[in-house]
Chains A and B, each alone.
Chain A
Amino acid sequence: MLGVRALFGIGLLVTSRGGSVLTHTGACARVASNIYSKDLAHRQACTMANTIKYLGQEEAQHIDEELFNEYSFSVDQLMELAGLSCATAVSKGYPLQSLLKSPPRVLVICGPGNNGGDGLVCARHLKLFGYEPSVLYPKRPNKQLFQNLTTQCEKMDISFLTEMPEADVVDEVYNLVVDAIFGFSFKGAVREPFGDILSQLKKTTVPIASVDIPSGWDVEKGCPDGIQPDMLISLTAPKKAANHFKGRYHFLGGRFVPPALEKKYQLNLPQYPGTDCVYQLN
């Protein structure tokens, strides 16, 4: 197998970034398989020896920054994949035919940040999967991305509520609640109207599916008297709060982590089945 030095030696160009790599197809295939087989072997070794890593808040923030800065992903792209994972996890945990109430109504509560954006994308895909989502989006960021995602939902005939229904109304009307209020950046006190929303959610009996972090929980320590979701969809990698999760379904979603990033943070991500964008952790 030709090493990198040999390729330089015989006049083939190998650059690390921003340019073309190889000129000879045959050599290319050999070097490619060299790159690829090392990664696969490493990952197989990792998942055999170690379990998946649970991230602290700072680590989660660093990984996020790297994805956007170093890896040049756009928020649009990753939010689309994250929202799709959430909708897919919901379909697996609560298949249409298993729902008790008809029509298959789902309440999606979106917070003021990226977690809310994930919720908007999730709602749109749930609609395409045959569910009837309604969105509560009380505090909307003044950014184009969120306005666009809102329009996309509205144009799919997804209704937007003007206020949070009382717990007994939620129980009567909806089959489940998707909690996309706060994510891994959450710190400090809960501002209204989310305090009131969370207290209603603590009283509802329908299952709650939380996106990334059960809202209101400390991202690392959890929250014994916070909401108790039935499903948690961890995005990218689970956060430490997930150690306190006691619900039935814990899914991993957000299948976009580049192998180099996974290695750097030793995430030990499991191997997703086939082309699935979710992996059931429990």
Chain B
Amino acid sequence: MNHSSNEKEPETIEPLRYLSKTEVATVETELLRDYRFGQQQLIEIWGHACAIAITKAFPLSSLSKKQPTLLVVCGPEQNGSIGLVCARHLRMFEYEPTIFYPKRSPQSLHQDFTVQCEKMDIPFLSYLPTEVQLLNDAYNLVIDAILGPETDLKEVKEPYAGMLVTLKQVKIPIVSVDVPSGWDVDEPAKDGINPEVLISLTAPKKCATGFSGKHFLAGRFLPYDIQKKYELNLPEFPGTECVIEL
């Protein structure tokens, strides 16, 4: 799927495209403006697919701790909201998520997602312990939904810089939503966080080229026109699945 071919054979599978930061923004603008998808709708689709990918990477039976606990760390923008929706679906799938959501978006759209989680009785932490051992002991894994491709890395302030330092030290697996937080969208980071699993939403980003961990593509909703226009060459999802392992 990821091999490129120089010959023009009819049987050749075209390589999957890895998007740049600008391309990601362009595609999303088109989806909202021309295809009239709603933002809440997209976030729901992404969060739901993300949760399904997590159950594939870490089935309930595979978790080592007595309770299927996991920590979902949510940033202030869209990536964080996707994390909230993901946490809600994980709860429906019988996992026990806890959320850390230090800076909440003021947009009512994102506030709704918070209320939905609270009303599912999902606990929210009020601070992230810097004693990494506490995290290692309490949770089976961490879902990194802090920063996404929309983030301007130059603008990243506290508490996120500190949180990333903590995450770099945890011994439990990290699952990153869309892009590993802190990574440049266009290049793999040399000393950023090191997730075990990456769940690319819609299409993978350039920084995921050569990602050595488990890599999933999640979210099955892209109109064929857009797929063709950007030559995404997405793989075929089996049956009615919305997640595929790359």
A residues neighboring B (CB under 8 Å): 13, 17-26, 28-29, 31-33, 35-37, 39-40, 70-74, 76-77, 80-81, 87-88, 91, 124, 128-129, 145, 147-148, 151-152, 155-157, 255-256, 258-260, 274-275
In the complex formed, the residue of B with least CB distance to A256 is B92
Task: Assess whether B220 is in contact with A128, with CB atoms less than 8 Å apart.
Answer: yes
The CA of A109 and the CA of B42, in the complex, are separated in Å by: 24
- Within the complex, which residue of B52, B55, B67, B118 is in contact with A29, where a contact is CB–CB below 8 Å? B67
Task: Assess whether B69 is in contact with A29, with CB atoms less than 8 Å apart.
Answer: yes
The CA of A186 and the CA of B92, in the complex, are separated in Å by: 30
User: In the complex, what residues of B have CB within 8 A of residue A33's CB?
Assistant: 67, 69, 96
| B170 smallest CB distance to A (angstroms) | 12
* A77-B41 CB under 8 A given contacts A26-B134, A148-B36, A275-B93: yes
Interface centre among A25, A29, A151, A259 (most CB of B within 10 A): A25
Task: Assess whether B123 is in contact with A21, with CB atoms less than 8 Å apart.
Answer: yes
Interface of B is mostly: mixed
Task: Assess whether A259 is in contact with B223, with CB atoms less than 8 Å apart.
Answer: no
| A214 smallest CB distance to B (angstroms) | 24
* A21-B126 CB under 8 A given contacts A28-B138, A80-B41, A258-B119: yes
Interface residues of B in 129-154 (CB under 8 A from A): 129, 134-135, 137-139
The CA of A12 and the CA of B108, in the complex, are separated in Å by: 28
Query: What are 19 pairs between A and B in contact, CB < 8 Å?
Result: A25-B125, A25-B139, A26-B134, A28-B98, A32-B69, A32-B98, A33-B69, A40-B94, A76-B41, A76-B44, A77-B44, A124-B221, A148-B37, A152-B37, A152-B223, A155-B34, A157-B225, A259-B121, A275-B93
User: In the complex, what residues of A have CB within 8 A of residue B119's CB?
Assistant: 70-72, 258, 260
| B178 smallest CB distance to A (angstroms) | 19
- Within the complex, which residue of A28, A74, A147, A256 is in contact with B123, where a contact is CB–CB below 8 Å? A28
B residues neighboring A (CB under 8 Å): 34-38, 40-41, 44-45, 48, 51-52, 55, 67, 69, 92-94, 96, 98, 111-112, 115-116, 118-121, 123-127, 129, 134-135, 137-139, 220-221, 223-225, 239-240
User: In the complex, what residues of A have CB within 8 A of residue B120's CB?
Assistant: 258-260
Task: Assess whether A275 is in contact with B94, with CB atoms less than 8 Å apart.
Answer: no
Task: Assess whether A91 is in contact with B126, with CB atoms less than 8 Å apart.
Answer: no
* A36-B134 CB under 8 A given contacts A21-B125, A155-B225, A156-B223: no
Give the total number of A-B pairs whose CB atoms are below 8 A apart. 128
| A271 smallest CB distance to B (angstroms) | 8
In the complex formed, the residue of B with least CB distance to A275 is B52
Task: Assess whether A76 is in contact with B40, with CB atoms less than 8 Å apart.
Answer: yes
Interface centre among B37, B38, B134 (most CB of A within 10 A): B38
The CA of A29 and the CA of B135, in the complex, are separated in Å by: 10
* A26-B123 CB under 8 A given contacts A155-B34, A155-B35, A157-B224: no
User: In the complex, what residues of A have CB within 8 A of residue B40's CB?
Assistant: 74, 76-77
The CA of A33 and the CA of B45, in the complex, are separated in Å by: 28
Task: Assess whether B112 is in contact with A72, with CB atoms less than 8 Å apart.
Answer: yes
Task: Assess whether A76 is in contact with B38, with CB atoms less than 8 Å apart.
Answer: yes
**17 new A-B contacts at CB < 8 Å, known A32-B98, A81-B48, A129-B240:** A19-B126, A22-B125, A25-B125, A25-B134, A25-B138, A28-B123, A29-B69, A35-B121, A76-B41, A76-B44, A77-B40, A148-B38, A151-B36, A155-B225, A156-B224, A256-B92, A258-B120
| A77 smallest CB distance to B (angstroms) | 4
